[in-house]
Amino acid sequence: MYAIIKTGGKQYQVATGDQVRVEKLPGNVGDTVELDDVLLVVENGNTVVGKPIVDGAKVKATISEQGKHRKINVFKKKKRKGYRLMKGHRQPYTSLKIDEITI
């Protein structure tokens, strides 16, 4: 059994027991999160497709980590002008452990 969920403007394929990193969600480590935006559920060959979401379907997950990705450096330069700009960015994420998929 697996499901396609939408969170943080992205879609993820998840199954029970999976570990997935998504855009930052509010909560602390150990908290339970319910994801209601389930786009598709496949169970024993039966496929349920939502229009746009599957009614009554939920994915329950536990927050296992709150962290930041590695640093991405952004460097801008204009030749012969003396203009140089260096910036860095670390995107926050939430790591989820999928506990249960219900229809």
Count of domains observed in the chain: 1
Whether 7 and 39 have beta carbons less than 8 Å apart is answered as no
Calculate mean pLDDT across residues 72-98: 97
The DSSP bridge partners found for residue 41 are 3, 48
Q: Report pLDDT digits (tens) over 2-15.
A: 999 999 999 999 99
Other beta carbons within 10 angstroms of residue 34's beta carbon come to 10
Q: How many CB atoms are located within 10 Å of the residue 87 CB?
A: 9
Under 8 Å between Cβ of 61 and 22:
no
DSSP code at position 18: -
Expressed as residue numbers, the domain containing 8 is 2-102
Over residues 49-80, the pLDDT tens digits come to 989 999 999 999 999 999 999 999 999 999 99
- Could you count the other beta carbons within 10 Å of the beta carbon of residue 5? 26
Q: Whole-model pTM?
A: 0.84
